[in-house]
Amino acid sequence: MKRVLIFSAILFLILAFKPAQPVPSAYQIALLKYNGGGDWYANLETSLANLIKFCNEQLKTNINPEQAIVEAGSSDIFNYPLVHVTGHGNIIFSNQEAENLRAYLLAGGFLHISDNYGLDKFIRPQLKKIFPELDLVELPFNHPIYHQKFEFKNGLPKIHEHDNASPKGFGLIYKGRLICFYDFECDLGDGWESAEVHNDSEEARTKALQMGANIIAYVFTENKTN
C-alpha cells in the first residue's frame, strides 16, 4: 500500500509540470493466482474487466482497465489495493505465501473472495493459515460495505443459485478493520462476466456490478489502517 501512495505522489508531481498529458491510471487491481489445482482463472476473460469499467464510469475511479495477475507469494502483491480470489476447487497457500498474504493485509491491502461454487471448504482452512487468531464472521446488513453508492438493505444479491441458500457476506476483521470480504452462495464474480458467458439477466448483472462497485468504494475510501 505504501508503494501505491508513493506512486500517487510521484504522479501528482509529474502532472503538475505536464498538464497536457493524459492522466494515467492511478490504481490497478489484481486476480490472485494460487496453487492446489483449483481454477483461479475461472473468470479470467471478462469479470474484473467489466467491474473496472463499471467503477470507472459510475464511481469516477481511475483504475487501470487491465487487471493484473499476482501470485500469493509475490512481493508485487503490495502494489495492489485490492486482490480478487475466485474458483471452484482446491486452493493451497504455502507457509511463505500465507505469511506474505498476512503482511499484505496488515499493510492495508484487501482481499475479496468470491466462491464460484466449490471453493468454500478449501478457502476456509487457508484463511486460518493466514490468520489463525481470526474467524470469518457474517457481516450485518447495516455494514458500510452494503451502503456505498448503491444500497443493499438486505445484504448481498443472489446471482447464481448453487445450493438455493441465501447469499452471505463474511469478513475477517483485524483490530476493527475489515481486511477480507467473502461472498458465499452469491457468485459476484460470475455476475460481473459479460452477458453471453452465463446468460444472466441484465438485472442480476447490474446488481452484481453495483455490489462489486460498493466493495471497491469501501476499499478506496473507508478501509484504512489504524
| CATH number of the domain to which 117 belongs | 3.40.50.12140
Question: b/e per residue, 19-51, with b = 16+ CB within 10 A?
Answer: eeeeeeebbbbbbbebeeebbbebbeeebbbbb
What is the domain range of residue 188? Answer: 26-221
Q: With respect to residue 204, please indicate whether it lies within any of the assigned structural domains.
A: yes
pLDDT value of residue 38: 87
Identify whether 194 is part of a domain: yes
3-state secondary structure of 46: coil
Cα distances from 111 to residues 162, 183, 195, 199, 216, in angstroms, run 23, 11, 25, 27, 11
For the chain, the domain total comes to 1
Residues of the chain with pLDDT below 70 are 1-24, 162, 197-198, 224-226
User: Has residue 136 been placed in a domain?
Assistant: yes
Check residue 116 and give its pLDDT: 83
CB-side exposure of 213: number of CA atoms within 13 Å? Answer: 22
- The model carries a pTM of 0.86
- Does 114 fall in a domain? yes
pLDDT at 224: 61
Q: Please report whether residue 12 resides in a domain.
A: no
pLDDT tens per residue, range 129-185? 999 999 999 999 999 999 999 999 999 998 877 677 889 999 999 999 999 999 999
d(CA 142, CA 17): 44
Residue 156 covered by a domain: yes
Is 53 among the domain residues? yes
Task: Please indicate, yes or no, if residue 18 is contained in any of the structural domains.
Answer: no
Sequence letter at residue 192? W
Q: What is the pLDDT of residue 102?
A: 98
CA distance 142 to 202: 26
How far, CA to CA in Å, does 54 sit from each of 65, 80, 88, 200? Answer: 10, 19, 25, 17
